[in-house]
């Protein structure tokens, strides 16, 4: 089944074409206008989606040599995300489905992330553990099968990507700072400072606001010249601590739930330290590890097309008055069936 998909839940506008599980192409534009504000401004994000979406749709159809009459289904992210931003992609998708008389699927953004490593042709054996790490989410999920998810732990305050961005801002880096910190930290000495190991214990939740505050305190203690001199060391120490919490939770999850594989997804899944730590855990527990292509770690419509097509192909349909769902738990999802949802 050939589907056209839209993603607009935060600050990426993205359109993709996928046929029978194989990605034909996607165009993803990260909005740069938020840099001046140090974070995503919801109203500006919605306007920018509105300005971009038609253009990106035309370009994606042209680049994938797809005629509208070849499209057999339409998918769009319905949530979770920013309400105004979601409305643009969801309504645009509904409009195309309505005008072409095609089946429509309102997709879950995090279900898309969970399966994004399969877009490079691999199959992840179930049950598996998925670590979802982005600017908006930090969740450990047990994937029992496609459509059946158990949320094992989530952040009690900041998301891990948010901590990267806030620490970056503190040290004068532009937004979003995760990829830059990843590069700079590689040249630093993580032993320069030991940030407290927060949230030790057996529970599977996460917390990042304490770590962010600890970095702030340390920066305040130093002379500005020392901060400059040791910027890479501070970032390496921060990153070590940030990743240590993620891997600790992953280990506990493996020991408790005995998954058959591991995957990570979301913007922070592109992080080099996290990827190598997860590879090591995979080796320790003899579990295969799956990583999305780096271009598909960030929000994108390819992953929405992938999960949307699976549901449409199984006969599931969403009504054209399906609402946006800014908050939407993965646990509310069900396996696809021949129903309206
Ligand atoms: O999934 P995503 O595009 O959007 C959200 O749903 O938030 O993730 C963006 C987040 C930002 O916080 C960004 O700083 C972070 O992912 N990020 C990284 C890296 N690349 C992007 N964090 C750490 N290391 C990276 N290499
Ligand atoms: Zn995301």
Global pTM reads 0.96
Distance CA 249, CA 184 (A): 25
Span from the CA of 219 to the centroid of ligand 2 (angstroms) = 30
Ligand nearest to C-alpha 158: 1
The closest ligand to the CA of 112 turns out to be 2
Distances in Å between the alpha carbon of 106 and those of 22, 51, 319? 20, 22, 8
pLDDT of 79 > 90? The answer is yes
Structure tokens at 164: 């990267």
User: How far apart are alpha carbons 20 and 3 in whole angstroms?
Assistant: 9
Give CA angle at 68 (65, 73), nearest 5°: 110
The answer to whether residue 200 scores a pLDDT higher than 80 is: no
Q: Answer yes or no: is pLDDT of 341 > 80.
A: no
Phi, psi of 73 (to 5 degrees): -165, 155
pLDDT exceeds cutoff 80 at 339: no
Residues whose beta carbon lies within 6 Å of some atom of ligand 1: 10, 134-136, 161, 164-165, 176-179, 182, 266-268, 270-271, 298-299
As a residue count, the chain comes to 341
Phi first, then psi, for residue 150 (nearest 5°) are -120, 120
Question: For residue 313, how far is its CA from the centre of ligand 1 (angstroms)?
Answer: 31
CB-based contact 165:133 (threshold 8 Å):
no
pLDDT of the residue at 34? 87
- Summarize the confidence of residues 19-42 as an average pLDDT: 91
Digit-coded pLDDT (tens) for 217-266 = 999 999 999 999 999 999 999 999 999 999 999 999 999 999 999 999 99
Q: Whose CA is nearest to atom 20 of ligand 1?
A: 179
Distance CA 209, CA 217 (A): 12
Question: Do the beta carbons of residue 218 and residue 226 sit within 8 Å?
Answer: no
**How many other CB atoms are there within 10 angstroms of residue 174's CB atom?**
13
Residue 35 — very low, low, confident or very high, per pLDDT cuts 50/70/90? Answer: confident
Cα–ligand 1 centroid distance for 72 (angstroms)? 32
Place of tokens 């998810």: 149
In 10 A of CB 190, how many CB atoms? 20
Mean pLDDT over 169-177 rounds to 93
φ/ψ region of 116 (left if φ > 0, alpha if ψ in -120 to 50, else beta) reads alpha
In this structure, what token pair is assigned to residue 84?
């105004």
At residue 70, the pLDDT reads 98
Q: Which is the closest atom of ligand 1 to the Cα of 12?
A: 3
pLDDT tops 80 at residue 197: no
């Amino acid at each position: 089944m050939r589907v056209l998909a839209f993603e607009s839940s935060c600050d990426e506008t993205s359109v993709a074409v996928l046929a029978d599980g194989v990605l034909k192409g996607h165009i993803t534009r990260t909005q740069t206008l938020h840099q001046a504000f140090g974070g995503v401004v919801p109203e500006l994000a919605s306007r920018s989606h509105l300005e971009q979406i038609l253009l990106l749709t035309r370009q994606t159809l042209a680049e994938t040599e797809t005629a509208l009459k070849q499209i057999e289904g339409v998918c769009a992210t319905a949530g979770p995300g920013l309400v105004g931003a979601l409305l643009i992609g969801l309504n645009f998708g509904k409009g195309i489905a309505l005008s072409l008389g095609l089946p429509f699927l309102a997709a879950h953004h995090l279900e898309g992330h969970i399966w994004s490593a399969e877009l490079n042709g691999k199959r992840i054996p179930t049950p598996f553990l998925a670590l979802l790490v982005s600017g908006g989410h930090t969740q450990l999920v047990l994937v029992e099968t496609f459509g059946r998810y158990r949320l094992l732990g989530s952040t009690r305050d900041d998301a891990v990507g948010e901590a990267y961005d806030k620490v970056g801002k503190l040290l004068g880096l532009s937004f979003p700072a995760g990829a830059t910190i990843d590069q700079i930290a590689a040249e630093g000495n993580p032993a320069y400072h030991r940030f407290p190991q927060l949230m030790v214990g057996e529970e599977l939740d996460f917390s990042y606001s304490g770590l962010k505050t600890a970095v702030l305190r340390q920066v305040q203690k130093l002379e500005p010249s020392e901060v400059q001199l040791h910027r890479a060391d501070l970032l390496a120490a921060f990153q070590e601590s940030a990743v240590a919490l993620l891997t600790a939770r992953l280990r506990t999850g493996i020991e408790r739930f005995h998954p058959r594989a591991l995957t990570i997804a979301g913007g922070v899944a592109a992080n080099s330290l996290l990827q190598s730590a997860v590879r090591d855990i995979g080796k320790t527990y003899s579990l295969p590890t799956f990583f999305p292509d780096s271009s598909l770690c960030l929000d994108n419509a390819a992953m929405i097309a992938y999960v949307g097509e699976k549901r449409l192909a199984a006969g599931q349909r969403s009504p054209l008055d399906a609402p946006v769902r800014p908050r939407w738990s993965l646990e509310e999802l069900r396996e696809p069936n021949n129903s309206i949802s």
